[in-house]
Amino acid sequence: AQLHRKANKIDEMKSVLAYGLDSLGQAGNKYYSKMLLLFQVQELKEATEVMKKAQDFAQKASGADINTYLTNMSQATKLYEEVIPMYEEVLKYPGVDDKTNANVSKAKSSIEVCKSSIEAYEAYRKTIKK
């Protein structure tokens, strides 16, 4: 996995890590926590990039006229829906210290932000169509 990371072959790195996490499991594997950390950090990095794009659209929508709001929030919502599974990947594999793991906390809170933003947009959009 480290060789792929150093060669900037991120998809291959993630595949190796996922295979290791799936097949070896947590019990009795001294490398599990290191593989998990590397996997989570990469997933968070990719998810954060998408989340930033979504938040940029949401910020453009804030205080804008109705058409601009709807256009930007529609784009933001699509990105929020896209990024939720990315954050869920961080939560896919159990860790020894999930309660104190900052990666797990960030993923969970980001999923909640996405869901609440989607819900707020959908609720507002319904009021406009009436």
Does residue 9 fall inside a structural domain?
no
Residue 52 lies in a domain: yes
- Inside any domain, residue 63: yes
Give CA separation, 124 vs 10, 38, 51, 84, in Å.
Answer: 39, 39, 21, 21
Residue 19 lies in a domain: no
Predicted pLDDT of residue 17 = 84
Domain CATH for 46: 1.20.58
Q: Which residue's entry shows tokens 């930007």?
A: 72
Residue 14 lies in a domain: no
Query: What pLDDT score was predicted for residue 27?
Result: 60
Distance CA 11, CA 83 (A): 17
**For residue 73, is it within any domain?**
yes
Has residue 24 been placed in a domain? no
- What is the model's pLDDT at position 12? 83
The number of folded domains in the chain is 1
**How would you class 6 by CB atoms within 10 Å of its CB: exposed for 0-12, middle for 13-18, buried for 19 or more?**
exposed
The residue type of 26 is Q
Whether residue 71 lies inside any domain: the answer is yes
pLDDT in tens, 77-118: 999 999 999 999 988 887 766 677 888 899 999 999 999 999
Buried b (16+ CB within 10 A) or exposed e, 54-69: beebbebbeeeeeeeb
Is the pLDDT at 130 greater than 60? The verdict is no
CA–centroid distance for 32 within its chain: 21
Residue 86 lies in domain: 40-129
The whole-model pTM stands at: 0.82
